[in-house]
Structures are given as structure tokens and as C-alpha cells.
Amino acid sequence: MSRYTRTMMWRVIIVVGCLVLGWTARGHATDPVVLDVRTESTGGMLATATILFPVGPAIIQRIITDYAHWPELFDVRMRMAEIREQEGKVFTDIRIEHALLPGERRLLSETRALPTGGFLTELKGGDFKQYRRFWKLTPADGGAHTKAEFELLVEIDTMMPDWIVAAAMRRDLDTHFRIIREKALAQQGVQSGRSQ
């Protein structure tokens, strides 16, 4: 790699890092979310979160299992290339464009409901090295709210330093949880309007 190319790469990394850290510092809302993002020694980033949503679990479950509308739950360019339900499992082919990743990345995954409660999504192919997402929804406050346990392990092939990927992941998940919360409140408002 030439000296010019290395210098330009470090400049890009520094600029992206500043942007990501700026968004992260600005992005902390008053939503009751406890989020931890860390680098795994075996590779990839592990995010764990506990979220208290101000609606019942049925609404949150309906939102996170509405696969056709998943792109609306994220602040990155995403499209669903295929959704196929078969034998209680949902296979998705998702195409993702992200500022940290050149071009479009493909994520092939399978989601299934677990007998113990919750939803598990696992990598089946595509451009990711690792991908595993888990949601567990528990009623809180007599069923008026939802306590959600969330875990995401993801590893992508990138030249970005881990700290930049971790900061971007934190920012993206903060936004993801906020969007889910807003959609849940809107759905609850629609349901309340119907029952009156």
C-alpha cells in the first residue's frame, strides 16, 4: 500500500470516527435503555441491551416480526430482497448499505420463536462473518409495558478499527430502539382510538 493511500485511509478513519463519536454523544435520549457494546475476543461486536418499552409485549412482538417493514426500523439503507416463511421459521435475504461499509452487504438469516420465549435470528449466509440476534419480551407493570432483553453478535469484514465499529453500532442501536418505541406508541394510539 503506498504512503499516500495509507495517509488517506487514516484521514478517512479519523473523520468517520469524529462523526460517529459526535452522533453518539448527541444521540443519548431519555428512553429507558441500558446498552453495552463491546469487542469480543473471538471476533465481532457484542451488544446487549435491556429496554423498557411503554407498551405491551404484543405490540413490540408485532413490530419486530413484521419482516416486510424491517427497513423502517433502522436508520441505514436496507431492503428486503426475500422473505420466506417455512415450518415456523422465517428466512430473510436483506441487502444493507452502511456508511462504514463499501457497497451493499447481503445478510441471509433465519428467525424462529423459541419455546422458552423470545426470538432468535441466526446467520445463514451472505457477507457477514457472524450474526446472531436475540429478543426476549416480558410483560412489565401488569402488561402495560414491555421489558425487552436484546443481544446482537455481529462481525463484518472491514478495515475500520473496532472502536469505530463499536461506536457506530451503539449509535445505530440507540436509533433502532427509539424507532421501535415511536412505532409502538403510534400503534398503541391507533388501538386506543379504536377501542373508544
Structural domain boundaries in the chain: 3-195
Q: What is the largest CA-CA distance in the chain?
A: 69
Indicate the pLDDT class of residue 29, thresholds 50, 70 and 90.
very low
Return phi, psi of residue 70, to 5°.
-55, -45
Indicate the pLDDT class of residue 22, thresholds 50, 70 and 90.
very low
pLDDT at residue number 153: 96
d(CA 68, CA 45) in angstroms, rounded, equals 26
What number is the average pLDDT over the span 69-77? 94
Indicate the pLDDT class of residue 96, thresholds 50, 70 and 90.
very high
Burial level of 140, CB count in 10 A (0-12/13-18/19+)? middle
Report yes or no: 55 and 185 within 8 Å, Cβ to Cβ: yes
Indicate the pLDDT class of residue 102, thresholds 50, 70 and 90.
confident
Q: Coil, strand or helix: which one is 68?
A: helix
Q: What is the pTM of this model?
A: 0.80
The class (CATH top level) of 3-195 is alpha beta
